[in-house]
Chain A
Amino acid sequence: MPAPLRLSRARDVPRDAAAGSAAPAVDPSPLVGTWVSFDAATRGLVRVVVALRGGRLAVRAFGASSPAPRDWGEAEGDAFAGGVDGVGGADRVGGVGAVAFTARYRFGFVDTLLAAYLNRRLLVVDCYSVFGDGSGRSSYFSRDHFYQPAGSASRA
């Protein structure tokens, strides 16, 4: 008899808890592609490119900068489903496959956590940034909304 699952809350319980432990790997493909900010005048992120590298998420963000966007380079991301079964419920976000991701950028003078989720076919990216350069700037939160231009999705 398998050991009881450890829980932090009711949602940690699979719908069919007796079904065994077949790994429901999170399908990251709904996140893959190029995402462009709805706000052409954003001072945050102008574009996010999500790709698969050896089955893992690779996130590449571009910050608003003049005269050209600042390429943040690629950071490894983690994909999340809408539930422990790999699917979302009626009250949950999304359906089969990944509905969210996180990625972390460490630039030296600032660390930025990207915490993103899909809302239908809109990608919402929240940035949590902490400065470590002694400039006195506050850690700050920002949020940008992105769409996928037609043909830019690249399902792996």
Chain B
Amino acid sequence: MTTLQSVRADDQLGELASAPPGEIDVAPLLGTWWATDKATDSVVKLELADRAGSFVVHAFGACTPAPCDWGERPAVPYAATVGSRDAMAFSAVYDFGFMETLLAAYMKGGILVLDTFNAFKDGSGRASYFTREFFHR
């Protein structure tokens, strides 16, 4: 067992002598994810893609008459453990200028759970707010 620098037990590789080779495989996350709540006033759709080795997210907000296209941003994939290579979560940041939004999401049982942490920067007086939504492919 290899002892590595850590701040909690989960940081250790356990019985593995070393980390498995290669990068995190984002394939389990790829595709178009739709909000389970068709009447949501938050995020309606997420597209997760691999652009020549770069993992990206493309989000769409609930707007009328058409969804607001947030554009594509780089995303960070996460595995379930330090010794796993299968992605099951991601994070990304959208800076809209008037507001910054952190996306923090994980997959469980075929459902993607998305948390957003939103902080306004425009002096509009709107409170920073949190949302939690569920998505299916």
Chain A residues packing against B (C-beta within 8 Å): 5-12, 14, 20-26, 43-45, 63-66, 70, 72, 78-86, 91-94, 99-100, 102, 105, 107, 109-110, 112-113, 115, 117, 126, 128-131, 133, 135-143
Known: A9-B68, A24-B125, A141-B89. A115 touches B9 (CB 8 A): no
- In Å, the complex CA distance between A84 and B82 comes to 37
Partner of A128 from B61, B84, B98, B104 at Cβ < 8 Å? B104
Inter-subunit contact B129/A10 (CB<8 Å):
no
Inter-subunit contact A65/B24 (CB<8 Å):
no
Please report the total number of B residues contacting A with Cβ < 8 Å.
62
- In Å, the complex CA distance between A117 and B115 comes to 9
Chain B residues packing against A (C-beta within 8 Å): 4-11, 13, 18-21, 24, 37, 41-43, 61-64, 68, 70, 76-85, 88-89, 91, 94, 96-99, 101-102, 104, 106, 115, 117-120, 122-132
Known: A80-B130, A84-B127, A86-B127. A63 touches B24 (CB 8 A): no
Apart from A94-B130, A128-B89, 17 more pairs, CB < 8 Å: A5-B122, A6-B99, A7-B63, A8-B94, A10-B42, A10-B62, A11-B41, A12-B126, A80-B117, A102-B117, A128-B104, A138-B24, A138-B81, A138-B84, A139-B76, A140-B78, A141-B79
- In Å, the complex CA distance between A100 and B104 comes to 13
Instruction: Report the nearest A residue to B70, measured CB to CB.
Output: A8
* Chain B residues whose C-beta falls within 8 Å of the C-beta of A140 in the assembled complex: 10, 78-82, 84
Partner of B7 from A72, A113, A126, A143 at Cβ < 8 Å? A72
* Chain A residues whose C-beta falls within 8 Å of the C-beta of B125 in the assembled complex: 20-24
Instruction: Report the nearest A residue to B24, measured CB to CB.
Output: A138
Instruction: Report the nearest A residue to B44, measured CB to CB.
Output: A9
* Chain B residues whose C-beta falls within 8 Å of the C-beta of A6 in the assembled complex: 96-99, 122
- In Å, the complex CA distance between A124 and B66 comes to 34
- In Å, the complex CA distance between A24 and B106 comes to 30
Known: A8-B61, A8-B94, A135-B19. A64 touches B8 (CB 8 A): yes
In the complex, the 9 A-B pairs of residues with the closest C-beta atoms, listed nearest first: A9-B61, A63-B8, A136-B19, A21-B125, A141-B89, A100-B130, A43-B9, A10-B41, A80-B130
Inter-subunit contact A139/B78 (CB<8 Å):
yes
